[in-house]
Structure 1
Amino acid sequence: MKGGALVKALMEWLPIVIPLVALLGGATGWWLQRRKLNQERYRELLERFLLPVDVILKRNKAAFHKLQMGNEQEVHPLEYYPERLKMFFDSLPDSDQRKVFWRSEINEIQARNQKAAGLIEGYIGSALLNPAFVQASITLLDHINGWRSKWNYALSGIPIPAALDNELLADVFPQAFETELASQIQQIRAVAQTRGGPKP
């Protein structure tokens, strides 16, 4: 093709090529922006929800073990009525701080539980979470709220039937939540740390 014909052909295609290039460039920019926004959503879920709940879980687990240390059969789980626990802790030697501070320790565990519940309620509706984790979270909320309300009732001074003295105040901690939380953190972290985040 001679030079003049080539220039003519380019001039004919130029009005088509320029808009097409602009369109492709705009689409690429939109796609990259979408991936960035998705990555930020996953990172927020990880840093503001999953990891803080994991820290609370680990702190409460350590506090449980400290109170149960050496007496797992007597104190496990801590959802026993206060009178049942009081009998045990009163039997400890005076040198054991648990004898004095056991109730305040449990109150702190419950306070941290409420923080975890607030985080769960704030993020549980996210479509980015696995259904299994959502279900485990709902079960945990039932445990937290049930234990708190019944514990407060037991401490209110209203007589509790003797037949219930050794019964549980609420269902024990749902171990499935710990497993599902670890799995959810692993999945969300992998996506949040991927360059550009997940594909839209």
Structure 2
Amino acid sequence: MRTVKRVAVAIICIITLQSCGQKVEYPTETLKGFMLGGPYIANSFNGLSQMYSQMGLTGDPSEDDILMAYKKNWPFYFNTYNKSGCAGALNNFWEISNKDTTLEMLDILKKEPAQYKAWDYARSVDVAAMGYCAGYLSKEEVNVYLDEVLAKVQEEYPTWKVYFNEYNEGRLEWNPDSPDVKEFSNMVKGLQNDATSIYKLIPLND
């Protein structure tokens, strides 16, 4: 089994989000799996303020409006018309080039022991989403995989706060000198604490 390549997947300006046409409102169960990778989703919007703006979460939205916005914008967040961009990012950052190597890496991120496993679980969402965008995985395959990861996370962490605290520790251990360590840490706090946070509406363990 090859070692996980310890890199941060920063895809800003490489792959655009789904922003055109009618958006699908996915079920809460689907959204919850993608919530495991919230920092990467927010990062793909170029930060929280732009994410809230693009999702229409300005002013004083209702809880129903907040939930609908996340259901429409978070699952399968990479735009499939840019398959080459997704494929290039997977190859450059993860040495993934096809379906088999995508599944291999996802299996490693899900199963391989690690001191800060939440770091792997969160990154697995990004890899799965890019795998779908690149045409390596179907939506059904992504959903089945994220359901499995979510079940593991629910067994291992009591709350989103505990999960994301460990995620931050893992990211810091990966590269303590990274210039965006503080930015990512603040983004994770905002994701959980902002008025329009989906993590306030959907607990990790019901």
Which is higher, the Rg of structure 1 or of structure 2?
1
For CA contacts below 8 A with separation 6 or more, give which structure has more relative contact order.
1
Q: Which has the higher helix share?
A: 1
After TM superposition, is the score higher than 0.5? no
